[in-house]
Amino acid sequence: MKYTLQLLIVILLSGTFNLALSQDQPKIDSLFQVLRTSKQDTNKVLLLYELSREFFNSDIVGSEKYANRALFLSQKLEYKRGIALSYTNLGIINYYKAIYNVALSYHDRSLELMEEIGDRKGMAGSHNNKGAVYTQQGDYKLAIEEYINSLHIMEEIGDKEGMGKSFNNIGLVYYLQGNYDEAKKYYGKALEIFKERGDKTRISDILNNMGIIAYEEGEYDVSLDFHMKSLETRDKTGNHRGQATSYTNIGDVYAAQEAFSKALEFQKKAFDIQEELGDKKGMLSSMKGMGTVYSLTGRDDEALKYMEEVLRISTEIGAKREVRDAYNDISNLYMKMGNYEEALKYKSHYAQMKDTLFSEKTNEIATALETKFENEKKAKEIEILKQENQIQELELGRNRILIISSIIGLILALISVVIFARINREKRKAMQLLQLQNDDIKRQKEVKEVLLKEIHHRVKNNLQVINSLIRLQCAYTDDKVALELFDECQNRIISMALIHEKMYEAHDLSNINIKEYVSELSQNLLRSYRLNQRINLDVNVSLEHLSLDTLIPLGLLLNELISNSLKHAFEGLEEGTIKIELDKDENDMFVLNIGDNGIGLPKDFSFNSAHTLGMELVVTLSEQLDGKIERVGETGSYFRIEFKGLEQQRVDVRKAMAREVA
């Protein structure tokens, strides 16, 4: 199992953007003080933009909040530079949230506006940021083009810092292609510029990258020295994302040196920071590092859990190279565990992904070789045909009688074929017509499935737009009650958007994998409330699929009950558990058991006396599912909901339609 390649790609992208890498609290306080008295003008836009930058490495949610406020005010003032800067920050934020297509869209819009207003440095920054997204997506040709565009502009305007960043990123692409000599050459150019400028933060990034190359070349002590020096600078500047990067790399080096306890310690430190920052790409690196250590120490079952989670998240965020490597790592683990059938299955997936990620250079070489081979093959075929033609002419001259006899026999055979064809003509026509009809039905079905998936995709996007509008509105009120109501509304929208996302991803549009949906919904809610307590989720779903008709009200019902537990159940407690069970009973009824082991509900609680919107929704949704809800007398707060769902109604409708057709 390879230690670091998967882990270090994110590390190499550190410092890619024109963004502050550490939080300066005095500066933040000063910005807030000015913001309170500022007017609704372009200066306030720039203040909001600076606040977004300062929050980036310690509070990604806060960073996004101020970037959206800057965008809203810029659009209101028709301030194009402010809009472009806001797009830049939102693109960077979405990159680190692993939403790559959205990030690329923001950088495209930023580049258009920078070109329109003639901001050459802004144009270079947008090219640079697009290159970072393409690098993460494995499209190295486009990444290099963007970095070169950025470098040329920086050279024209004499921006040394920008040139250093471009050199660093070009070195990154060479590293990813395995050309370490070229990578070190470009890192050296970048390091020279940053030392000249006294930029300690950027120097720490270059030291980090050179430590990675030393690791790849087997010089572990040299690599460890580079990473320790990089970490020292990041600790001083309070760069949390950079600290996580260094912890991950140091853990990998210790693993290579077989210092497994230290390796595990540093990977866990990295994971804690990345999880808090919402850095899914970084979490992949740490999880793979921990999985590697567990495998090397003989704890294969633990290693497999981490590697399967790496595969799930990398598939979710569309990181193709990470998906490929995860397939390979899982295959190797199964091989080590003696499960050769599973090992072969994952190795097959790995081979398919590997084929799709060939570099363009390799494809060009293969195409050139194939063209040369085809040309040579055609030349030989022409020569053979000439020789065969000469032989045929000789044989025709010598065997004229035999040829005539063969022709007569052929004519007789053709007559037989014609007679047989006439007899079976009608049969063939009917078969052809049937085949055409079947093909037409198949095409219509495929078109319908594509359209339905597109509808679900657009519904999901529209719900996300609504969610973003609500989030923007939140930025303009300090009323805690109103903000809580907005949060609850957003969670309900997200629960519905998640259903449509699952429909878009599903192979069978008539059903959704309910277990995946419930797990992801509960995890999203847990992250959104950001509680200080340690909350465990115990999800046990025996059902495999449910229809969209049933899942929408069920999803909203789960959202209300889980949110209620997270808001009220664990006040004054250090930890707790939320339990969710979904199954069918012997009467073919769906049964949902859900609750928590928290402080419990009031003794006089009843559904009839509950006056909150959440509980009213719970009762209404239970009735909509043709079911009933009751409180279960256990420690904490537990509910049991038995319902028929809308599955049976769909069956009844189909039967009725079939009777009408008959």
Mean pLDDT of 110-130: 93
CA-to-CA dists, residue 19 to 55, 198, 496, 588, 635, angstroms: 11, 17, 34, 57, 50
For tokens 């606040």, what's the residue?
51
Considering the domain boundaries, does residue 174 fall inside one? yes
* pLDDT classification of 650: cutoffs 50, 70, 90: low
Best CA proximity match to 102, nearest among 317, 314, 357: 317
Mean pLDDT of 444-472: 66
% of the chain at pLDDT higher than 70? 74
> What percentage of the chain's residues is helix, strand, coil (to nearest 5)?
75, 5, 20
* Burial classification of residue 649, based on how many CB atoms lie within 10 Å of its CB (0-12 exposed, 13-18 middle, 19 or more buried): middle
Q: What is the CATH number of the domain that holds 54?
A: 1.25.40.10
CA–CA gap between residue 611 and residue 181 (Å, rounded): 69
CA–CA gap between residue 162 and residue 390 (Å, rounded): 71
Task: Identify the domain boundary among 409, 434, 459.
Answer: 434
Mean pLDDT of 337-361: 77
Best CA proximity match to 328, nearest among 345, 306, 305: 345
Under DSSP, is residue 97 helix (H, G, I), strand (E, B) or coil?
coil
- Contact at 8 Å (CB) between 638 and 632? yes
- Contact at 8 Å (CB) between 310 and 324? no
Q: Are residues 46 and 93 in the same domain?
A: yes
Report, in angstroms and rounded to the nearest whole number, the Rg of the chain calculated over CA atoms: 32
Burial 544-558 (b: 16+ CB within 10 A, else e): eebbbebbbbbbbbb
Instruction: Extract the tokens encoding 564.
Output: 């209620």
For tokens 């970037």, what's the residue?
67
Q: Are residues 176 and 225 in the same domain?
A: yes
Q: Are residues 318 and 430 in the same domain?
A: no
Mean pLDDT of 269-280: 85
pLDDT computed for residue 616 by the predictor: 82
Q: Is 90 exceeded by the pLDDT of residue 152? A: yes
Q: Is 50 exceeded by the pLDDT of residue 18? A: no
pLDDT computed for residue 123 by the predictor: 93
pLDDT computed for residue 412 by the predictor: 73
Q: Is 90 exceeded by the pLDDT of residue 624? A: no
* pLDDT classification of 19: cutoffs 50, 70, 90: very low
Give every CB contact of residue 166 below 8 A, 6+ residues apart in sequence: 124, 128, 147, 148, 150, 151, 154
Which has the higher per-residue pLDDT, 471 or 509? 471
Q: Are residues 393 and 306 in the same domain?
A: no
Mean pLDDT of 222-251: 87
Q: Are residues 348 and 380 in the same domain?
A: no
Q: Are residues 403 and 543 in the same domain?
A: no
Which has the higher per-residue pLDDT, 260 or 432? 260
CA–CA gap between residue 517 and residue 581 (Å, rounded): 13
Q: Is 50 exceeded by the pLDDT of residue 13? A: no
* Tens digit of each residue's pLDDT (9 = 90 or more) over 367-394: 433 444 344 445 555 455 555 555 555 5
Q: Is 80 exceeded by the pLDDT of residue 439? A: no
Q: Is 80 exceeded by the pLDDT of residue 79? A: yes
Q: What is the CATH number of the domain that holds 617?
A: 3.30.565.10
pLDDT computed for residue 87 by the predictor: 93
For tokens 């230690």, what's the residue?
3
Q: Are residues 141 and 209 in the same domain?
A: yes
Q: Is 50 exceeded by the pLDDT of residue 363? A: no
Is-above-0.95 flag for pTM?
Answer: no
CA–CA gap between residue 122 and residue 654 (Å, rounded): 59
Considering the domain boundaries, does residue 26 fall inside one? yes
Q: Are residues 92 and 227 in the same domain?
A: yes
Instruction: Extract the tokens encoding 279.
Output: 């850095």
Q: Are residues 373 and 231 in the same domain?
A: no
Considering the domain boundaries, does residue 526 fall inside one? no
Q: Three-class SS string for 308-347?
A: HHHHHHHHHHCCHHHHHHHHHHHHHHHHHHCCHHHHHHHH
Q: Are residues 336 and 414 in the same domain?
A: no
Q: Is 70 exceeded by the pLDDT of residue 286? A: yes
Considering the domain boundaries, does residue 98 fall inside one? yes
pLDDT computed for residue 283 by the predictor: 85
pLDDT computed for residue 127 by the predictor: 93
Mean pLDDT of 269-290: 85
Considering the domain boundaries, does residue 348 fall inside one? yes
* pLDDT classification of 364: cutoffs 50, 70, 90: very low
Mean pLDDT of 214-226: 89
Considering the domain boundaries, does residue 514 fall inside one? no
Q: How many CB atoms lie within 10 A of CB 525?
A: 20
Task: Identify the domain boundary among 327, 356, 385.
Answer: 356
* pLDDT classification of 661: cutoffs 50, 70, 90: very low
Q: Are residues 237 and 386 in the same domain?
A: no
pLDDT computed for residue 372 by the predictor: 41
CA–CA gap between residue 352 and residue 342 (Å, rounded): 16
Instruction: Extract the tokens encoding 188.
Output: 């050296």
Q: Are residues 323 and 369 in the same domain?
A: no
* Tens digit of each residue's pLDDT (9 = 90 or more) over 523-557: 888 887 777 788 898 999 988 777 777 888 888 88
% of the chain at pLDDT higher than 90? 13
Which has the higher per-residue pLDDT, 118 or 649? 118
- Contact at 8 Å (CB) between 205 and 167? no
How many domains in the chain?
3
- Contact at 8 Å (CB) between 62 and 474? no
Number of helical (H) and strand (E) elements in the chain, helices listed first: 25, 7
Lowest mean pLDDT among 187-191, 431-435, 504-508: 504-508
CA–CA gap between residue 410 and residue 406 (Å, rounded): 6
Task: Identify the domain boundary among 390, 407, 434.
Answer: 434
pLDDT computed for residue 455 by the predictor: 66
Considering the domain boundaries, does residue 479 fall inside one? no
Considering the domain boundaries, does residue 517 fall inside one? no
Best CA proximity match to 464, nearest among 500, 513, 516, 518: 500
* Tens digit of each residue's pLDDT (9 = 90 or more) over 393-412: 555 566 566 666 667 767 87
Q: Tell me the residue range of the domain where 604 lies.
A: 534-662
Is the CA virtual torsion 328, 330, 331, 335 positive or negative? Answer: positive
* Tens digit of each residue's pLDDT (9 = 90 or more) over 598-616: 888 877 777 776 567 777 8
Q: Residue 66 is which amino acid? A: Y
Lowest mean pLDDT among 93-97, 191-195, 198-202, 417-421: 417-421
